[in-house]
Structure 1
Amino acid sequence: MLNKLKELTKDTAIYGISTMVGRFLNFILVPFFTNIFDPNEYGYVMLLYAYIGLFNIIFVYGLDSAFLKYAAFKEIGDEKDNFSTPYLSILFTSVLFTFVIIFLKNPIGQIINLPENYNYLIIYSVLIIFFDSNSSIPFLKLRLERKAKFFSLLKVLNISINIAANFILILKFRFGIEAIFISNLIASALTLVFLLPTIVKNFRPKIHTLLYTKLLKFGLPYLPAGLAVMMVQVIDVPILQSLTDVDTVGIYKANYKLGIFMMLFVSMFQYAWQPFFLNNAKEENAKEIFSKVLTYFTIVGSFLVISLSLFISDLVKINFSGFYLLGEKYWSGISIVPIILLGYFFNGLYVVFSAGIYIEEKSIFAPIVTGLGALVNVVVNLALIPSLNIIGAALATLASYLVMSGGYYIVTQKYYHIHYEYSKIIKMFSAMIAIGLVLYSFLMNAENRILIKLLLLIGYVIFVFLFVLDKRELQFIKTNLLKRKNA
């Protein structure tokens, strides 16, 4: 058993580190693009990538989840049947979808308010979706075979090729925004080529009819749930474009991406948290441990939200040899960053509360909660954007994650009740709200704001040590720090 747990921990670390590295490498492109392209151009890129995200879900239509279930248990057919049946289905339908979208690119461009001279970008976009969707089953096969290193290598390689191609096409060949799509297309196509040995090894030119019926029955219900999750992430873009303009979309999404620092923390926590609560669910004091996890997550998460919110406007304006973390034309949207950071914080709470859903096998509530989150996102976007512009879109993101975390909390407390340390969490939330009010009311344009911000951050740390952590926890920190220092 210990060896199995060791294997799980090792794989989790590999997947987690590669995902963090990949996302951080991807973020490198944000300052590059925003220092080169106007908000109008970047806005159209973000608009098309919003639809790429949605159609990636549609092109796979839940067969990825179905493949994991049936390939792992091999209830029907042999190993090649379990691979080839979903792979061939996605291949056939993706070819059909791709040809239809290319044929209808002009009316589609009109529907999504894309300028006619940019309609050719729809071809690049659907080809990216085609290659990515046809890579989904081979990638899952690598996970089932526990080839974590090869899986992670391909993911990082994909992003590295994408970044390199962007730099070459834009800096050397002076391409415009089409370079972003061409680079992604090259990376996606090469990734599928690298996966060919896996495909050939497991391929059989035949669809297992009974298995296919089971796959569709199991997988199709995941389509609306997957679309709901993706809508929470991208639906604000087309709504914002329809209610404002594409320049606003570019400014909004560029600043939205500055939330990556909080997103990385939540992602790292998620990779560690899921195996942790599954392995410790049967411990006698499991609920007490899980309660502490929420408290400690809130401590670290709130510190990140506060520190990044206070200093992000100063960080983006640091000049690095003529380049900025965010191009000057995008600085008008910096005020949304604290809201996005707080949204990712609540996404982290959603992850924390997912423990009870998994342990009690109440996954039926997942599509309900995510669907509600998507609905709230749409409603709040439509209600607030006309009056608050990008602030309204950011608040819609925050509202959707707040509803999703709240939904999971309600379900967890009903079926797997945990007595959380509410007084400590309320204290931290109260301090966060107070600092947020000071930030938005006085510090955006105040003199000596760096010093005031630093004092606020130090004050929050002192507040946590005095009013949140108890004597036993302080002694634990002191002892461990002293041990490390003496070591």
Structure 2
Amino acid sequence: MSVLNKLASQTAVYGISSIVGRVLTYLLVPVYTRYFAAAEYGIVTGLYAYVSFLNVVFTYGMETTFFRFANRPGADRRELYDRVLSLLLVSTAVLTAILALLARPLLGLLEIPPGHEQYAVWVALILGLDAVAAIPFARLRLENKARKFAGIRLASILLNVGLNLFFIVLCPEVMKGETLPWLRPLVEAVYDPGLGVGYVFLANLIASAVTLLLLGRELLDFRFRLSLAPLRPLLKYAYPLMLMGLAGMVNETLDRILLPRWLPDNFYPGKSSLTAVGIYGACYKLSIFMSLVIQAFRYAAEPFFFAQSTDKNSPVTFALIMKWFTLCCAVIFVGISLNLEDFGLFLRRAEYREGLEVVPVLLLANLFLGVYYNLSVWFKLTDKTYYGTYIGAGGAAITIALNFLLIPVLGYLGCALATLACYFTMAMLCWRLGERHFPVPYPAARLGLWLLGAAVLVGLGWLVTVEGWWLRHLWHGGLTALFLLALWLVERPRQPRAG
């Protein structure tokens, strides 16, 4: 269990920065949904969908590649770090320039009216800065400097949140003369009321720049080395990961790009397509707690899995990790889905809460995404990353096809169902292929029954309506407690019998 304890402790450290940071960012959702109409928030949702997608292009699988080659016998980690970061610096400069030049076409795809081109330029700069920071962050993870990693991440997020609150909440109040009138000269010097949602991107850009400053030691401890020959094996390993990542981003973000284009006119009476994107994007944020666990786990698990790959007991360890990861995610799925009425209060305007029906679907979808990340260890450890590309491409095909079929019929609920179908299929394919190439004794049937039971309880909670706030909360709380009790009774550790 010492190996699991080590993974758990590192996950906890990474989780502190991830969870606290994400929660702080999540607390901006009530701010955005109070100060911005759904159509305005649709601009934020749409552009950040591109950010998630293009992040994969900017880093093209080099983080995982860095881990893999750094853990090979006799690897010169210093030289590897120099070569990978040199390559990323060059490619990032080129990609950032191209993206900035394509600002207007990019906004046109989201049906964002002219006059907002600077938003896309800021997004390009954010992508560039984050890409440069990726390998120094990976080096910190490789060297088990989880505390420094978490501290820098958290500082960046705190700055981002603080700037959002300053520009979106405080500055308008100061300009009205209702709050801190002595700050008015400063506010008048730095604040432009016409920028609106642009401050969301500007705050992010400033925070990304400060992150690079905080990584100064890692960046200064670097010598530029760019030679194609030593990089060829790295690129050969990385490009399937990039394709896999692109397919993953198709599955994760393409719905918010396709929704405004494939949603029929007046599907939601009196609401524009950007309004629908804003509602869907805000409700998508309520699945953040599942994403938090997955992200924290991934930060710790990827280097951990590579380090454990030579241990003869690693398959048993991987199976145990999968079991407890899935059960923890099942608890999150049940707890949030059955108590969504309370979580929905974070969406301040009533127009946003119209889309709450998508949240349980998205929570379950993200659970299967986490399962897939666990299962994907087999093709990373066997250097068969092309299987990840095939699986991801299959998932992308499902995402595109189902969005095309379901958006005109179900609107943003169709997007959520397409996401669930995609991640479920990817997890099942990865599991079946893994059994053939890298057998791990996963308790698949047992976990499947737990997930089925969780889905049944959530469905029961939604289908059986109870009048009255107290009775309704008692009903939903009782179902949640029932699931937790069942888990404890069946899965609690048991002491071996004496004698």
Partners of 2:219 and 2:321 in 1: how far apart? 41
Partners of 1:44 and 1:285 in 2: how far apart? 45
What does 1:88-127 align with in structure 2 at a 5 Å threshold?
88-127=86-125
1:399 corresponds, among 415, 418, 421, to: 421
Residues 35/355 of structure 1: CA separation in 2 closer, same or farther (3 Å cut) = same
Q: What's the CA shift for 1:391?
A: 0.6
1:191 corresponds, among 199, 207, 211, to: 211
Residues 113/363 of structure 1: CA separation in 2 closer, same or farther (3 Å cut) = same
Q: What's the CA shift for 1:132?
A: 1.0
| 1:321 corresponding residue in structure 2 | none
| 1:212 corresponding residue in structure 2 | 231
Q: Does 1:38 align with 2:37?
A: yes
| 2:353 corresponding residue in structure 1 | 331
Q: What's the CA shift for 1:65?
A: 3.5
Amino acid at match of 1:178: G
| 1:484 corresponding residue in structure 2 | none
Contact 2:338 2:461 in 1 (8 A): yes
Partners of 1:79 and 1:284 in 2: how far apart? 27
Tell me the TM-score normalised to structure 2 length: 0.81
Partners of 1:159 and 1:265 in 2: how far apart? 17
Instruction: Describe the superposition over 1:22-59 as per-residue Cα deviations: whole angstroms up to 9, x where unpaired.
Output: 22222121122112111101111111111111222212
| 1:320 corresponding residue in structure 2 | none
Number of aligned residue pairs: give it.
463
| 1:311 corresponding residue in structure 2 | 339
Contact 2:282 2:347 in 1 (8 A): no
Is the partner of 2:441 in helix, strand or coil? coil
2:434 corresponds, among 389, 412, 415, to: 412
Residues 237/426 of structure 1: CA separation in 2 closer, same or farther (3 Å cut) = closer
Instruction: Describe the superposition over 1:267-319 as per-residue Cα deviations: whole angstroms up to 9, x where unpaired.
Output: 455567774897599677965x76676665555443432232121123423xx
Contact 1:336 1:390 in 2 (8 A): yes
Q: Does 1:142 align with 2:140?
A: yes
Q: What's the CA shift for 1:334?
A: 0.8
1:382 corresponds, among 372, 389, 404, to: 404
Contact 2:240 2:385 in 1 (8 A): no
Contact 1:344 1:401 in 2 (8 A): yes
Partners of 2:479 and 2:54 in 1: how far apart? 46
Residues 100/286 of structure 1: CA separation in 2 closer, same or farther (3 Å cut) = closer
Partners of 2:214 and 2:366 in 1: how far apart? 34
Q: What's the CA shift for 1:447?
A: 1.7
Instruction: Describe the superposition over 1:403-424 as per-residue Cα deviations: whole angstroms up to 9, x where unpaired.
Output: 11111221233341637373x5
What does 1:434-473 align with in structure 2 at a 5 Å threshold?
434-443=456-465, 446-448=466-468, 450-452=470-472, 454-455=474-475, 457-459=477-479, 461-462=481-482, 469-470=489-490
| 1:87 corresponding residue in structure 2 | 85
Unaligned runs of 5+ in 1: 318-323, 480-487
Amino acid at match of 1:260: I
| 2:222 corresponding residue in structure 1 | 202
Partners of 2:278 and 2:10 in 1: how far apart? 37
Tell me the TM-score normalised to structure 1 length: 0.83
Residues 469/419 of structure 1: CA separation in 2 closer, same or farther (3 Å cut) = farther
Q: What's the CA shift for 1:351?
A: 4.0
2:372 corresponds, among 350, 353, 368, to: 350
Instruction: Describe the superposition over 1:309-332 as per-residue Cα deviations: whole angstroms up to 9, x where unpaired.
Output: 121123423xxxxxx454322010
Residues 103/461 of structure 1: CA separation in 2 closer, same or farther (3 Å cut) = closer
Q: Does 1:256 align with 2:284?
A: yes
Q: What's the CA shift for 1:454?
A: 3.1
Residues 62/428 of structure 1: CA separation in 2 closer, same or farther (3 Å cut) = closer
Amino acid at match of 2:332: L
Unaligned runs of 5+ in 2: 173-192, 264-272
Instruction: Describe the superposition over 1:203-256 as per-residue Cα deviations: whole angstroms up to 9, x where unpaired.
Output: 23x423422334333333322111112222111111112123111000001001
Q: Does 1:166 align with 2:164?
A: yes
Partners of 1:168 and 1:94 in 2: how far apart? 30
Amino acid at match of 1:192: L
